[in-house]
Structure 1
């Protein structure tokens, strides 16, 4: 299991392709806060719920100074179809080799229906404008996660 990031640690920089096939680099977003959320698979029920919650709360997150990035091990084409189908207007990034998920502690052992396997752990890391970890949440639930995150960040509904 990869090591989880503690508050105050430097957030590992990364460059990943978005659904449009363009590179997005975390360090290019310095000066603003970034919500980096990791989800297992586009277009699955839980991941759709979580992505639509981020979409529906995007304006208030942006007004509070947060940029949202969603990361999954899906290929760019699947992300593009997911973004189009669900009208997602924030970047979805492809981490097919799960190197970024590993660097963020969001890849490791999971259990499902009594089976143990390696996979993406639904997680959210908030990166401060200076590039350090302000908040790291692991094993989050898809339903209600964005509302809890807003409360934790002090963003009014």
Structure 2
């Protein structure tokens, strides 16, 4: 019942640009959390990920909902291009690790790591989806490109999933040319 109510609330959420989140050029908050890539558990520490190149963080509301599934499939399909540009991609939601493991495996074909976003992490990145009345906070749909120096290089915040992959990929490919 809770999942149905959440799905209905997400379906009624306003589609279109969301208020600006963290501004480009600001320092991205460092964080540690746990994640899943397929059935493998791993620790995510943003500072460690940035040692390898830029990082795309894409926050999404709920695993296995239509928009989140389509967005994550699109990220999985684009992983070779993200990797060629030297970027790492991490999907973040407030779903539990078991759900994220199934989502990473079933939807992303174990190509995109999924990590748990706590309420504190949602607050730090200013991505909580307001007004849905959920007991557990839910992320809105916001994608960040974090440059290797830890600054926010690009942010795209819109509930329609369609442009998130293209915009983040364009940003990391431009960074790779420099």
TM over 0.5: yes
Query: What SS is found at the alignment partner of 2:44?
Result: strand
Instruction: Please tell me whether residue 7 in structure 1 is matched to residue 24 in structure 2.
Output: yes
- Cα distance between partner residues in 2 of 1:3 and 1:67: 23
In 1, the alpha carbon distance for the partners of 2:119 and 2:72 equals: 19
Counterpart of 1:63 (choices 84, 95, 100) is: 84
1-side partners of 2:170 and 2:54: how far apart?
Answer: 16
What does residue 11 of structure 2 align with? none
Cross-structure match for 2:43: 23
Superposition TM-score, scaled by structure 2 size: 0.75
Matched, 1:122 2:130: no
3-state SS in 2 of match to 1:109:
coil
Q: Decide whether the 8 Å contact of 2:145 with 2:168 is kept in 1.
A: no
Size of the alignment, in residue pairs? 149
* Pairs within 5 Å for 1:85-104: 85-86=106-107, 87-95=109-117, 97-104=118-125
Aligned partner of residue 28 in structure 1, secondary structure: helix
Whole-Å separation in 1 of the counterparts to 2:120 and 2:20: 13
Structure 1 gap ranges (5+): none
What SS does the corresponding residue of 1:41 show, helix, strand or coil? Answer: coil
Give TM-score scaled by structure 1 length: 0.84
SS in 2 for 1:105: coil
Displacement over 4 Å in runs of 4+: 152-155
Q: CA deviation at 1:83?
A: 1.2
* Separation of aligned partners in 1, 2:124 and 2:99: 23
Secondary structure of the residue aligned to 1:22 is strand
RMSD: 2.2
- Structure with the higher fraction of residues in strand conformation: 1
- Aligned-partner Cα distance in 1 for 2:76–2:20: 29
Structure 1 residue 84 corresponds to structure 2 residue 105: yes
Match of 1:137 among 147, 156, 164: 156
Q: Distance in 2 between matches of 1:9 and 1:148?
A: 19
Structure with higher helix content: 2
